[in-house]
Amino acid sequence: MSQQFPSQELVVLWMLLLLLPGMGQSVAAQQGDFCGTAERDAAYFHQHPEEEADYRAVQRQYQDFMATRPDTAGTRNVKTIPCVVHVIQSSIVNELSDADIQTQIEVLNEDFRKIAGTPGDGAGVDTEYQFCLASIDPQGCATTGINRIVNPGLASHDFADQALLKGLIQWDPNMYLNLWVPTEIVTQAQLGLIVGYATFPDQLPSQPELDGVVVGAQYFVRSPVSAGRTATHEVGHWLGLYHPFQGGCSGVNASDCSFLGDEVCDTPQSSDPNTVCSGSPNTCIESPVDLPNQVDNYMDYAIGSCVTGQFTQGQKDRMDFFYTTYRSNLSSAANLSATGCDGTLASTCPPTSNFSADARTTCVGQPVTFSDLSNGPPSSWNWTFPGGIPATSTDQNPVVTWAQTGTYSVGLEVTNAKGTDSRTETAFITVQETQLPPLSENFDNVPDYPDGWYPENLADTLNWRKSNEAAYSDAFSMQLELFGNPNQGAFYSLNTAAFDLSGVATANLSWRYAYKRFSAFNNIDTLQVRASVDCGANWNLLWQRAGTQLASVGGNGINARFVPADSSQWSYVEIPVDTYAGRTQVRFQFRAISGGGQNLWLDDVNLSALVNAAEVSEQLWGLEVYPNPFREVPTVAYSLAQGSELSFSLVDLQGRTLFQYDVGRQAPGEYVLAADPDIYATLPPGIYFLRAESEFGNATKKLIKMAP
């Protein structure tokens, strides 16, 4: 979005744009080209107001460039841009083939070079930009220009967290155009369907680690679903172009068209995005010549349905200015040689072993997919997985399980004609024991994290940590320091242990949290609760609050970090999780998304579950409680069909253990539990669960205490 407005206005204008008729998910689905670049640009200048002056200086240079640019008609200055495509996949099954990716490079060349006889041969000009998949990587080794990384969590890419996706892999942006292709792009904001976004050239000096283009996989290919024009549109942004509807009907006069609107004088302004490539709508009045909207322009939204498209001479001039100012090294002779785009052949390199896994913490029997990230490239692989199944593998990307809990190392030896290299990572995989409900966790009697819990944050060193500054109950809670956090959009996840809910009929998850809004303008700090049925490999959203809805305390906390003062500043949430009954590896996750706002606090996480004794093992167990409901002390009778160690516990609806009684080992027979009658006598009226644990199965009975 144009930076001619203050940053707060940018956000408001973009959100208003999204509310216009014809916008939103339905149009995105039809046209396949709903662009998130303007929203990203607005957020960038909101986060970096100090760069407003630098941008204005660049704008003045652009005006001078346009005013003094000589007529270049008839001259040729073709610029080749080396590309690398990073495909972020949810599994080892390729969602896009190499051939699919090659069709996308073909579309870029057809559109930017206006190649005769192709859909790119529209009414516009040859921009003289062309694109090449690099054949030499940054280490000087051979490459296809395509990197494939299996990462289910990032394959579904959240638009709010660009740094996490791009931090996974990026090649030097001064040598390559980085194109990231996740399986999908999702957003928690009300932005409709986003199919792609890009960075602008003037942001390269300050944020090189984010430079490049992101396009969802189903749109990064020439297919019936997509003409491949999403990438054309986003690369146009990457080269400095705005939407023709930029700023609505501003910049429609010869005197202001180069610094208002899309800042290009030969693209007629449009008040709204054009979503249909037909007719001749005219939504703005230009002067001195009024022209209809240019619906077939690659930078509008209708282009996915157009037979041909176009870039104008003015857009080419603007691209040339920003390319010369920020990106000219890409097409230099030295860089084309270094990336192989001039035909230079890479030397065969000795391999360098490297690998990743789609999970570092897992459960017994849960598959873990390993990805070879070695350079070279290797021609053979020799993996070692001590304790794993299999224990060794020669596959490039093997899938491994573990049958026992513990911490395990992983090794990879890679070989090619030039040599061999090996890498071993100790304590690389942790296989955790699955726990049984109930859970009652107030973080007081644990070291850093409860047994089986772990933080999951790949964005920076900030994380959920145990704190004694505030708590709802007792002395400790978990705290996330978002106050003053510069990484807006970053995820901070706290994962629970995995629970075996196979014998559970019903279950509830509850927790308490505290949060105060940073300011009236901050509405994007978010807390989510998610669940996984595969030990944390994939997650489903259960609950979410943000901004005002998330606040447990009124007012704003713009001047000082928020620390809850007393129990009144905490909110309580309880949700049913019955849909996960019967599952054997259920994890829950508390995930915060930073909006650069205020601190989050978490306490009293409880998982209560009801299990019918008959469902566990009717032939081995017999558990009865009578009278039930009761007023004073009930009788707990049980029978055992075989000998076993036994223990009993009484929990409340919040999952808190009120008493535990270890019986020891008992022979087969019939028994009455000799529990302290004072325990029941002092219970307030309500619902409770008596849980019995044995070597051959567990049983739970629901108890109801009535008022005297």
| Beta-strand pair 621-626/600-610 | unpaired
| C-alpha to C-alpha distance for 239 and 212, rounded to whole angstroms | 10
Q: State the chain's maximal CA–CA distance in angstroms.
A: 101
H runs (alpha helix) in 266-399: 313-322, 333-339
Burial class (CB in 10 A: 0-12, 13-18, 19+), 280: exposed
SS (H, E, C) 53-80: HHHHHHHHHHHHHHHHCCCCCCCCCCEE
Residue of 95, 128, 234, 693 marked active site: 234
* Side chain identity, residue 108: L
* Side chain identity, residue 639: S
Give the tokens for residue 93: 């099954």
Dihedral, CA of residue 267, residue 270, residue 273 and residue 277, to nearest 10: -60
SS (H, E, C) 224-236: CCCCCHHHHHHHH
Measured at the CA of 615, the angle between CA 613 and CA 617, to 5 degrees, comes to 75
- For residue 185, what are the β-bridge partners? 157
Active site (annotated) includes residue 670: no
391 conformational bin, left if phi > 0, alpha if psi -120 to 50, beta if neither: alpha
| C-alpha to C-alpha distance for 426 and 20, rounded to whole angstroms | 55
* Side chain identity, residue 69: R
| C-alpha to C-alpha distance for 254 and 270, rounded to whole angstroms | 16
| C-alpha to C-alpha distance for 235 and 75, rounded to whole angstroms | 23
| C-alpha to C-alpha distance for 369 and 538, rounded to whole angstroms | 13
Cα 144 to Cα 81, 84, 135, distances in angstroms: 15, 9, 5
Q: SS3 for 372?
A: strand
Q: What is the dihedral sign for C-alpha 326, 332, 337, 341?
A: positive
Measured at the CA of 104, the angle between CA 98 and CA 109, to 5 degrees, comes to 130
For residue 178, which phi and psi values (nearest 5 degrees)?
A: -85, 125
On whether the CB atoms of residues 529 and 542 are closer than 8 A, the answer is yes
Neighbours of 203 (CB within 10 A): 19
Q: Tell me the Cα Rg of the chain.
A: 30
The residue length of the chain stands at: 708
Residues 6+ apart with CB under 8 A from 418: 348, 349, 350, 351, 376
For residue 71, which phi and psi values (nearest 5 degrees)?
A: -70, 120
- For residue 499, what are the β-bridge partners? 435, 586
On whether the CB atoms of residues 693 and 662 are closer than 8 A, the answer is no
Residues labelled as active-site residues: 234
